[in-house]
Amino acid sequence: MIFFLLDMNVILKKKFIYFEDYKAKCAIGKRGISKKKVEGDKCTPKGRFKFRYIFYRKDRVKNIKSKLKLVPIKKNFGWCDDIKSKSYNKFVKFPFKFSAEKLYIKKNIYDIVVVIDHNQNPIKKGKGSAIFLHIARKNYTPTLGCIALSKGELKILISIINKNTFLKII
């Protein structure tokens, strides 16, 4: 018996996400796309990445559907962005003695956070952390390196991707 693994690609090109017949506007890093991503450069990394899992605000997002693992965000959730920490570019819980991005915030941009495997295997300190897909601000203002879509578009996208889907940033 022969099994085929179907790799699907979501393409990010020129501030748009493409997937099969689907197209959505998105925001990217303030300084564009770079193949030499470094911490704090405000660039979105160029490359091919796997979708890992999804954090979401259970109190704000109803009827979320995805084939990826769904993790409700708690008030103490964070993501380490401190190159001095052994937890650099990893999920952490507060209190935490190093610098980390809070995931439970007042703004709605982190109501849905899709974790991709940028700088994950292996993690290289200084090569960028906390690169996510998340909800865009109203005017699609640039991010610090993440990819941001409208809440509706992000909900559609996460309903059709799975663990065999790749994000290709070109």
Mean local confidence (pLDDT), 98-109 = 98
Predicted confidence band at 6 (pLDDT cuts at 50, 70, 90)?
low
> Is the pLDDT assigned to residue 4 strictly greater than 70?
no
Residue 11, CB-side half-sphere exposure with 13 Å CA sphere: 9
pTM here? 0.94
Predicted confidence band at 104 (pLDDT cuts at 50, 70, 90)?
very high
User: What pLDDT score was predicted for residue 8?
Assistant: 79
User: What pLDDT score was predicted for residue 5?
Assistant: 47
User: What pLDDT score was predicted for residue 2?
Assistant: 47
Sign of dihedral through CA atoms 154, 49, 40, 25? negative
Least confident of 5-14, 88-97, 102-111: 5-14
CB 147 within 8 Å of CB 11: no
Domain map of the chain by residue range? 27-163
Predicted confidence band at 21 (pLDDT cuts at 50, 70, 90)?
confident
Mean local confidence (pLDDT), 112-139 = 97
Mean local confidence (pLDDT), 21-48 = 96
